[in-house]
């Protein structure tokens, strides 16, 4: 069975970057544990950026290169319930979704919807 490679698109530069990264890592871990897809978390670059700062477009180009290798994209909002944090807006995510639309990579907004698609993908 072939598990699809799934890019997690999450806000990063708007709002609280640490909480945005936290939200993306939480989603990544849930998906990793569920073992339905192979998740890719581009916000791990947050830690590389701390040591090796690069311009925004450098990281976005890297993200676009990753997306081109993926089978699907999951768009999530950054949330942290204990303090009521939510960040939905993201210019970077919008650009990533546009790329997916341009190259026919499916975009999902709900993990359950992604998993239903992934099960069909695995059986191909």
Q: Which tokens hold the place of 49?
A: 């950026």
Q: Which tokens hold the place of 91?
A: 């210019």
Give tens-digit pLDDT for 112-123.
999 999 999 877
Give tens-digit pLDDT for 45-81.
889 888 999 999 999 999 999 999 999 999 999 999 9
Report the alpha-carbon angle 69-90-32, nearest 5.
45
Dist. CA 91–CA 76, nearest whole Å: 13
Query: 5-122 has which CATH code?
Result: 3.40.50.10400
Dist. CA 64–CA 1, nearest whole Å: 26
Domain ranges of the chain: 5-122
Confidence of residue 1 (pLDDT cuts 50, 70, 90): low
How crowded is the C-beta side of 52, counted as CA atoms within 13 Å? 5
- Helix, strand, or coil (residue 71): coil
Place of tokens 């768009």: 75
């Amino acid at each position: 069975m072939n598990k699809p490679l799934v890019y997690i698109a999450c806000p990063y530069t708007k709002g609280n970057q640490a909480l945005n990264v936290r939200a993306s890592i939480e989603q990544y871990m849930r998906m990793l544990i569920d073992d339905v897809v192979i998740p890719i978390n581009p916000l791990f670059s947050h830690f590389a950026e701390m040591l090796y700062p690069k311009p925004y477009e450098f990281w976005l180009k890297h993200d676009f290169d990753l997306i081109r290798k993926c089978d699907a994209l999951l768009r999530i909002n950054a949330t942290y319930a204990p303090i009521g944090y939510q960040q939905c807006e993201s210019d970077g995510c919008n650009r990533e979704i546009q790329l997916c639309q341009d190259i026919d990579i499916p975009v999902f907004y709900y993990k359950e919807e992604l998993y239903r698609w992934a099960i069909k993908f695995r059986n191909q």
